C-alpha cells in the first residue's frame, strides 16, 4: 500500500482511498480507544468521531507519520470523552464482577489461543490487573504507555500524537511504567509467577 498516494487521493475527494486508510488503522484506533476509555461502546463512538475528524481535516495533514496523525485524532476524541465523564461522573447500576459473570467479554490483547485452561485463567487475571492499573493512571500517562508499549508506536510518533515534546514523552513513559509496576505488585498472588518474579527483581 502506498500510504502517501492514498492520502493524496483522499485529499482530492477519493472516498475509496480514505476508506482504505480507515481499514488499515481502524483496529489500532479502536484498541487505543478501548484501553483509554475501558468501554467498548464509547470506544466505538470515539473511533468514529476520530475518523470523521481526520477526513474533515485532511487538508491540515502536513506529511510525516500518517498513523501518528490519525492516532492524535483518536487520542483527542478519548480526551474529550474523559473530560465529559469528569464533568458528569456516572455509576453503573449493576457493578460487574468478572469472576461471577461468564458472559463478560474478556479483553483479547493478551490472549493465547493455544493456552491451557489454567494458563487462560492466569491470562485473564493478568488482563484484569493491567486494565485496573491502566485506568488508575492519569490520562496523559495512560495514553503514552498504551501507544508505545501496547500499540507499538515509536517515541517520535507518540510525540506527534499527543503534541508533547519528545523528552516529556520519555519521562511520562518511565513514570507510567513505574506506576504500572507498583500497581501490579499490589495484586500479589493474582499474577502469574513469572510476573511476580519480574516485579520483585525490578523492585530489588
Encode pLDDT of 110-126 as tens digits. 445 565 666 666 677 77
* pLDDT of 50: 95
151-160 long-range contacts, CB within 8 A, separation 24+? 151/28, 151/31, 151/32, 151/71, 153/67, 153/68, 153/71, 156/65, 156/68, 157/65, 157/67, 157/68, 157/71, 158/68, 160/64, 160/65, 160/68, 160/69, 160/72
- Residue ranges of alpha helices (H) inside 66-138 are 66-87, 117-136
In the block, residue with C-alpha cell 523528552? 167
Nearby residues of 86 by Cβ (< 8 Å), 6 or more positions away? none
Question: Count of CB atoms within 10 A of residue 136's CB?
Answer: 12
Most confident among 80-94, 141-155, 183-197 (mean pLDDT): 141-155
Most distant pair of Cα atoms in the chain: their distance = 58
Domain annotation for the chain: domains and CATH numbers: 1-90 (1.10.1740.10), 114-204 (1.10.10.10)
| pLDDT, mean of residues 36-40 | 93
Query: Is the CB of residue 73 less than 8 Å from the CB of residue 51?
Result: yes
DSSP conformation class of 11? H
pLDDT for 53 beyond 60: yes
Q: What is the pLDDT of residues 85-94, one digit of tens each?
A: 888 755 444 4
Question: Whole-angstrom Cα distance, residue 22 to residue 27?
Answer: 9
- Residue ranges of alpha helices (H) inside the chain are 3-11, 15-37, 40-56, 66-87, 117-136, 139-145, 155-162, 166-185, 193-203
* pLDDT of 95: 40
Question: Whole-angstrom Cα distance, residue 12 to residue 153?
Answer: 28
Global pTM value: 0.74
Amino acid at each position: 500500500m502506498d500510504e502517501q498516494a492514498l492520502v493524496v487521493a483522499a485529499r482530492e475527494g477519493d472516498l475509496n482511498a480514505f476508506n482504505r486508510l480507515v481499514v488499515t488503522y481502524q483496529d489500532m484506533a479502536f484498541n487505543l480507544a478501548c484501553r483509554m476509555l475501558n468501554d467498548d461502546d464509547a470506544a466505538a463512538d470515539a473511533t468514529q468521531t476520530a475518523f470523521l475528524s481526520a477526513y474533515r481535516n485532511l487538508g491540515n495533514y502536513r506529511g510525516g507519520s500518517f498513523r501518528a496523525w490519525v492516532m492524535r485524532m483518536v487520542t483527542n476524541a478519548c480526551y474529550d470523552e474523559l473530560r465529559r465523564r469528569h464533568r458528569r461522573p456516572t455509576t453503573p447500576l449493576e457493578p460487574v464482577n468478572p469472576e461471577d459473570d461468564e458472559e463478560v467479554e474478556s479483553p483479547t490483547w493478551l490472549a493465547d489461543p493455544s493456552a491451557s485452561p489454567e494458563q487462560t485463567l492466569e491470562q485473564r487475571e493478568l488482563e484484569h490487573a493491567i486494565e485496573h492499573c491502566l485506568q488508575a493512571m492519569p490520562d496523559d500517562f495512560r495514553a503514552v504507555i498504551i501507544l508505545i508499549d501496547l500499540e507499538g508506536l515509536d517515541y517520535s510518533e507518540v510525540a506527534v500524537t499527543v503534541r508533547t515534546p519528545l523528552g516529556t514523552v520519555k519521562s511520562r513513559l518511565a513514570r507510567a511504567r513505574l506506576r504500572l509496576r507498583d500497581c501490579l505488585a499490589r495484586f500479589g498472588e493474582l499474577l502469574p509467577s513469572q510476573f511476580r518474579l519480574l516485579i520483585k527483581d525490578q523492585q530489588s
